[in-house]
């Protein structure tokens, strides 16, 4: 990060924006799909299978493209968006999000469909915002700590790849969500 604390902190904004937009791109279409009330259980099952399948795919094919290793600061937001999509941001949250938007609160029939749609858009935005804030806070604190206290040589000597952890967490969350979706009788 140009050997500067200022550059490190300046990078957090574009990273947060890219990650946030990646989650919204994935979650907003599903916010609209939740309005299709009678399909909600199947959507949750499909989203769970998608997350589980993506996690398993990342376990089998964990390799990263080397071209994405060094990104200029002007393209950091775009890089954050692309990497967040590739690593499943939003996909992991999707089964949980769809589960938050239950149809049981609608009462009888389709009377509350308009409220459900607008409520779900707010929830999708809030879930994306909270996840993005947590991700950027944890990542920023870790990056600053490494930069400030351990030095950049620490990263090159002791870096470990989190791909397997991400893939396992995607698989676990997808399988757990699938189990909940299949046990739900609504």
Lowest mean pLDDT among 7-11, 121-125, 127-131, 144-148: 121-125
Which class for 12: exposed (0-12), middle (13-18), buried (19 or more C-beta within 10 A)?
A: middle
**Mean pLDDT over the full length of the chain:** 75
Share above pLDDT 70 across residues of the chain, in percent, rounded to a whole number: 67
**Alpha-carbon Rg of the chain, whole angstroms?**
19
Residues 6+ apart with CB under 8 A from 44: 95, 98, 99, 177, 181, 184
Mean pLDDT of 83-103: 61
Share above pLDDT 90 across residues of the chain, in percent, rounded to a whole number: 3
pLDDT at 148: 87
pLDDT at 7: 85
Buried b (16+ CB within 10 A) or exposed e, 61-87: eeeeeeeeeebeeeebbebbbebbbeb
Half-sphere exposure of 5 (CA within 13 A, CB side): 5
Mean pLDDT of 7-22: 87
pLDDT at 77: 82
pLDDT at 109: 41
Of 99, 105, 104, the C-alpha closest to 124 is: 99
- How many other C-beta atoms lie within 10 A of the C-beta of residue 118? 12
**Model confidence at 110, in pLDDT bands (50, 70, 90)?**
very low
Tokens of 169: 């967490």
**Does residue 78 carry a pLDDT above 60?**
yes
Mean pLDDT of 63-76: 72
**Does residue 186 carry a pLDDT above 60?**
no
pTM above 0.85, yes or no: no
Mean pLDDT of 125-146: 85
How many angstroms separate the CA atoms of 146 and 107, rounded? 52
């Amino acid at each position: 990060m140009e050997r500067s604390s200022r550059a490190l902190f300046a990078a957090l904004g574009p990273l947060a924006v890219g990650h946030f937009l990646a989650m919204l791109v994935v979650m907003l279409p599903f916010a609209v799909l939740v309005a299709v009330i009678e399909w909600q259980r199947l959507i949750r099952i499909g989203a769970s299978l998608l997350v589980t399948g993506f996690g398993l795919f990342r376990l089998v094919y964990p390799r990263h493209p080397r071209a994405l290793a060094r990104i200029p600061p002007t393209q950091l937001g775009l890089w954050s968006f692309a990497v967040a999509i590739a690593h499943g941001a939003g996909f992991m949250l999707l089964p949980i999000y769809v589960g938050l938007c239950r149809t049981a609160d609608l009462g009888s029939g389709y009377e509350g469909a308009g409220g459900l749609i607008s409520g779900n858009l707010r929830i999708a935005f809030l879930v994306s915002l909270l996840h993005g804030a947590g991700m950027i806070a944890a990542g920023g604190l870790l990056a600053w700590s490494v930069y400030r206290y351990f030095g950049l040589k620490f990263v090159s000597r002791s870096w470990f790849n989190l791909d397997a952890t991400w893939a396992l967490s995607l698989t676990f969350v997808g399988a757990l969500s699938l189990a909940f979706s299949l046990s739900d009788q609504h």
